[in-house]
A and B are shown apart, each in its own frame.
Chain A
Amino acid sequence: DGGITQSPKYLFRKEGQNVTLSCEQNLNHDAMYWYRQDPGQGLRLIYYSQIVNDFQKGDIAEGYSVSREKKESFPLTVTSAQKNPTAFYLCASTREFNQPQHFGDGTRLSIL
């Protein structure tokens, strides 16, 4: 079955450390997105990519970085510059803009 796989499910970050969240899709979708969700809140867009080797900042990109070297993969790095990284991170993809998004099951990031 096609879908989006996020890993790991839980991740802990030490002070000053960069961590990378994985997002892989086998839906052959062109566009991919990263969102941050804080408790009881909606989703806020971190980065999005409409095509391989291209990505754009979302509303809260500071302290995060991404790459899109392959169509299937859109990893997110939470850098040490992100001072409040504790949140639930969701990756999504869509065949083309305006179509429904498919989501992974998220990665919960906490600080040690």
Chain B
Amino acid sequence: SQQGEEDPQALSIQEGENATMNCSYKTSINNLQWYRQNSGRGLVHLILIRSNEREKHSGRLRVTLDTSKKSSSLLITASRAADTASYFCALSGTYKYIFGTGTRLKVLA
């Protein structure tokens, strides 16, 4: 399958802790994007990392990409209850995006 695989499937942490989720894939990519989805809502784009980049930051988010291992990770630092959501990686290949299975993050206040 070309689908990205994310782990863990679910993650529960305390407010203030860091959350790390991983995405592995099998195809070659142009870039990899991370999205967030609150329950019952559409996806919101968080960050895009190009295939020739290794690390990118945006506020409390840090994304890494290792194209040799075909994997990416999303780190959310100092998590807040409002970060509770599902997080998806999306691979940008040829004319379409392939979404991962998602990580459900729950941040306990």
Contact with B along A9-52 (1 / 0, CB 8 A): 00000000000000000000000010100001111110010100
> Does B3 sit at the interface, judged by CB under 8 A?
yes
Q: Which residue of B lies closest to A56 (CB)?
A: B95
B41 near A50: Cβ-Cβ < 8 Å: no
Interface residues on chain B, number (Cβ under 8 Å): 24
> Does A63 sit at the interface, judged by CB under 8 A?
no
Q: Which residue of A lies closest to B104 (CB)?
A: A40
Grouping DSSP codes into helix (H, G, I), strand (E, B) and loop, the A interface class, with mixed when no group exceeds half, is: strand
Known: A42-B88, A43-B88. A100 touches B45 (CB 8 A): yes
What number of residue pairs across chains A and B have CB atoms under 8 A from each other? 58
Rounded to whole angstroms, the CA-CA distance of A43 and B42 in the bound complex is 11
Residues of chain B with a CB closer than 8 A to A45's CB: 96-97
Contact with B along A71-112 (1 / 0, CB 8 A): 000000000000000001010100001111111111010000
B101 near A41: Cβ-Cβ < 8 Å: yes
Interface residues on chain A, number (Cβ under 8 Å): 28
B31 near A98: Cβ-Cβ < 8 Å: yes
Rounded to whole angstroms, the CA-CA distance of A102 and B90 in the bound complex is 13
8 A Cβ contacts from B64-102 to A: 88, 90, 92, 95-97, 99-102
8 A Cβ contacts from B20-68 to A: 30-31, 33, 35, 40-45, 48
| 27 pairs of residues in contact across A and B, judged by CB atoms under 8 Å | A35-B99, A40-B104, A41-B102, A42-B3, A42-B4, A42-B88, A42-B100, A42-B101, A44-B99, A48-B95, A48-B96, A58-B96, A88-B40, A90-B43, A92-B42, A92-B43, A97-B95, A98-B30, A98-B31, A100-B33, A101-B33, A102-B45, A103-B42, A104-B42, A106-B40, A106-B41, A108-B40
Residues of B near any A CB (own CB < 8 A):
3-4, 30-31, 33, 35, 40-45, 48, 88, 90, 92, 95-97, 99-102, 104
